[in-house]
Structure 1
Amino acid sequence: MLFCKEDKELGRRQAMGRCPLCGGKVEAVDVERKWRLCLAPLCFKIKRKYYCVMCGRRLELYY
């Protein structure tokens, strides 16, 4: 396999707001993503993703 992607969870914390589907609490998850080409690092990014605690749905912010 030439390309490989590694995801590592850095931390979780409660975010403001409620899930529009079920009304559950929202959790912010910081994820570190690394892309590699034959063991040589290509890209390194940290992203924040939002999930509902009750239904597990991934939420997106539109602003």
Structure 2
Amino acid sequence: MKASEFRSKDEAELTKELEGLLRAQFSLRMQMATQQLSNSSQLRKVRRDIARVRTVQREKAGK
């Protein structure tokens, strides 16, 4: 997702999105550890989405 898509969401939606991304990251890490992950670039995408959500949350908290 793009940062602009995250900016259009309110705080509750961002929190819910962050929880989902953290769960996805955990799942991908477990797949990586057990060598079941076929596309390792998914982990990087999820990590960056988590960073985007946290950045937008900080921006909204500052306003």
TM over 0.5: no
| Higher relative contact order (Cα pairs below 8 Å, separated by 6+ residues) | 2
Q: Specify which structure has the higher proportion of strand.
A: 1
**With structure 2 as the length reference, what TM-score do the two structures score?**
0.24
**With structure 1 as the length reference, what TM-score do the two structures score?**
0.24
Q: Specify which structure has the higher proportion of helix.
A: 2
